[in-house]
Structure 1
């Protein structure tokens, strides 16, 4: 049987994760989250995740350090972090971006580590 469910999520009421992300719509194989007005702070630690991430910058600037490369993220930029890739972010100015993860990052606390 085909899944025909329709979901709408109002981010005003979205739950927040421990890292500051807002959880948006989630399907069986992909989920979205919003990083809203992230402030420049100490560099984030290198990490590896068990999901693929694609993102889009709404405003602000950040550096994505990915497997020895540095990618400048600015409004209108999109990016991919492959599953298992070593990476970190350095927020340069207040930063807002939306990401999609596959499989969903929040299942079994995958994004809380």
Structure 2
């Protein structure tokens, strides 16, 4: 992977869950989510840390059994390995950074033992 990296919006790839992959480095990756309202997804955990920022809309984050409502301008952190799930309350756009980068080694794919729908993260 060459650094620095520039990713034009017309060249950004989309993942299986609807995420748009933006710039990625050796230690961190950036992605964009744009989703319509949906109910909570099943709980999951990831082998990377995620920080996010809501650009528009409202979502709820259930993290280890505690739920927080996030609106435009709010940010969050999901620690590596923490059980969590999301519910989109109003159409939203958010940016997330993952460390280590979630794009590699299939770490960013939906769990294979569950039926997939766009809101599952």
Task: Give the TM-score normalised by the residue count of structure 2.
Answer: 0.86
Aligned-residue offset at 1:43: 1.9
Bigger helix share: 1
Cα distance change of structure 1 residues 5 and 106 upon mapping to structure 2, 3 Å threshold = closer
The residue aligned with 1:61 is 58
Alignment RMSD: 1.1
Q: How does 1:21-36 map to 2 (within 5 A)?
A: 21-36=19-34
Q: Give the drift of 1:12.
A: 2.6
1:55-76 Cα distance to aligned partner (Å, 9 max, x none): 0000000000000111111000
Which of 10, 13, 35 is the aligned partner of 2:11? 13
CA contact (8 A) 2:3 2:25 kept: no
Q: Distance in 1 between matches of 2:59 and 2:13?
A: 24
Query: Distance in 2 between the 1:109 and 1:12 partners?
Result: 23
Q: CA deviation at 1:112?
A: 0.4
Q: CA deviation at 1:5?
A: 2.9
Partner deviation per Cα, 1:36-85 (whole Å, 9 max, x = no partner): 2x011232111000000000000000000000111111000010000000
Following superposition, which runs of at least 4 residues in structure 1 exceed 3 angstroms of deviation?
none
In 2, the alpha carbon distance for the partners of 1:79 and 1:42 equals 19
TM-score, scaled to structure 1: 0.92
